[in-house]
């Protein structure tokens, strides 16, 4: 049972780290894209938010999946 808890903890940590990294990258890219595309007024905040959340979700998904794959391996 301890092995299963350890595996879930690793997957959760992978998702959390992926979400944090993805959120940071998405915020930087969203800001750059909003300025480059000359998004008007308060729509910049919406554009940056969508890029941040989307990137955080994708990075979190992939790091969680990677943690799940590595969970069963014994090194």
| DSSP state string for the chain | -HHHHHHHHHHHHHHHHHHHHHHHHHHHHHHHHHHHTT--TTHHHHHHHHHHHHHHHHHHHHHHHHHHHHHT---
- Round the average pLDDT of the chain to a whole number and report it: 91
Question: What does the alpha-carbon distance between residue 30 and residue 20 come to, in Å, rounded to a whole number?
Answer: 15
Mean pLDDT of 47-57: 96
How open is the CA angle 21-27-29, to the nearest 5 degrees? 100
Domain that holds residue 62: 8-70
Domains held by the chain: number: 1
pLDDT of residue 72: 75
Lowest mean pLDDT among 17-21, 26-30, 70-74: 70-74
Q: Is residue 61 domain-resident?
A: yes
Mean pLDDT of 60-68: 94
Q: Does residue 74 surpass a pLDDT of 80?
A: no
Question: What does the alpha-carbon distance between residue 10 and residue 66 come to, in Å, rounded to a whole number?
Answer: 10
Q: Does residue 9 surpass a pLDDT of 70?
A: yes
Q: Does residue 6 surpass a pLDDT of 80?
A: yes
Q: Is residue 31 domain-resident?
A: yes
């Amino acid at each position: 049972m301890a092995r299963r808890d350890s595996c879930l903890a690793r997957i959760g940590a992978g998702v959390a780290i992926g979400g944090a990294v993805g959120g940071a990258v998405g915020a930087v890219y969203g800001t750059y894209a909003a300025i480059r595309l000359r998004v008007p007024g308060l729509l910049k905040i919406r554009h940056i938010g969508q890029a941040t959340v989307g990137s955080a979700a994708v990075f979190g998904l992939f790091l969680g999946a990677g943690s799940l794959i590595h969970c069963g391996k014994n090194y």
